[in-house]
Amino acid sequence: MCDEHSLNDMAEHVSRRRLGTLAIGAGFAAALPRAANAVEVKETDVVVKTPDGEAEAHFVYPASGKAPAVLVWPDAFGLRPAFKQMGKRLAESGYAVFTPNPYYRAAKVPALPAGLDFQKPEDRAQIMKLMSGLSPTTQVTDAKAFVAYLDSRTDVVDTSRKMGTTGYCMGGPFTMRTAAEFPNRVGAAGSFHGGGLVTDKPDSPHLLVAKMKAQYLFCIAENDDKQQPDAKTVLRETFDKAKLKAEIEVYPALHGWCPPDAAVYKQAEAERAWARLLATFQSGLA
């Protein structure tokens, strides 16, 4: 789960490994390999108007032709260089990739300072405060605005093809609400160490699966699975009932392992998850 429990667990893991401060978004990111068939891309920072304000975002797309759109929902640390790097890599595989600042209502980029230390309660409090300003309602409001922006970019977005969405940490549920809100638009989605996918509340994301038409990839962290071992089973049963394709796997990695600037980044498993995402998009974004 992407909550204070997970943040504490990550901090303890890093302390055990004697790595000291767990700094996320501090400007350092592991170098991501470039695909052999990578296309040239263009990238720009954009601002999208929503009913609640103006959202900053990073937009990167192939330099020529049109491509299917992908909406990326960042983790709890928000839009930062690592997510721009990931967006660019995805665009090099032939997608028009939009990554917003999820905290635009409260703060501009960078919404969180570099080098946060999770072993400090005041640093954890900064993250939780921003996260508390987001809700199922804000997620749908933002999804509507961002999908509308992407569909307006007919110069680079191929709207004749389905679009995709990905989410990391807190962004996992965002993808499910996006897919449910736009069932005829979203054809494939991926959740990486997503938190709060299955809850006992009436607005639990898994209850929206019946409204979706997207195929899914769920890459679950091993410590999240230990905390909520029944979540993967509920997801499996829910997607099977909806007759939707879903790849659901627990990875031998800790919550937060995919972004290359995370202290718990696990390259081999991050690359495996990335490969499965590309396969999911190739299959679902026809």
pLDDT in tens, 125-139: 888 999 999 999 999
pLDDT at 23: 44
| Residue span of the structural domain in which 274 resides | 4-29+37-284
Please report which confidence band the pLDDT of residue 9 belongs to, taking 50, 70 and 90 as the band edges.
Answer: very low
Residue 118 has pLDDT above 50, yes or no: yes
pLDDT at 10: 44
Residue 168 has pLDDT above 90, yes or no: yes
User: How many folded domains does the chain comprise?
Assistant: 1
Q: Look at residue 184 and give its three-state secondary structure.
A: coil
Residue 121 — φ and ψ, nearest 5°?
-55, -35
Per-residue pLDDT tens over the stretch 49-103: 999 999 999 999 999 999 999 999 999 999 999 999 999 999 999 999 999 999 9
pLDDT at 238: 98
Please report which confidence band the pLDDT of residue 33 belongs to, taking 50, 70 and 90 as the band edges.
Answer: confident
- Average pLDDT of the chain, as a whole number: 90
Asked if residues 75 and 170 have their Cβ atoms less than 8 Å apart, the reply is: yes
CA contacts within 13 A on the Cβ side of 109: 20
Q: What is the domain-level CATH number for residue 176?
A: 3.40.50.1820
pLDDT at 29: 65
Q: What is the mean pLDDT of residues 148-152?
A: 98
Please report which confidence band the pLDDT of residue 19 belongs to, taking 50, 70 and 90 as the band edges.
Answer: very low
Higher pLDDT among residues 218 and 112, named by residue: 218
Q: In what order do the strands lie in the sheet with 96-100?
A: 41-50, 53-62, 96-100, 69-73, 163-168, 186-192, 215-221, 246-251
How far is Cα 144 from Cα 27, in angstroms, rounded to an integer? 31
Asked if residues 121 and 71 have their Cβ atoms less than 8 Å apart, the reply is: no
Please report which confidence band the pLDDT of residue 121 belongs to, taking 50, 70 and 90 as the band edges.
Answer: confident
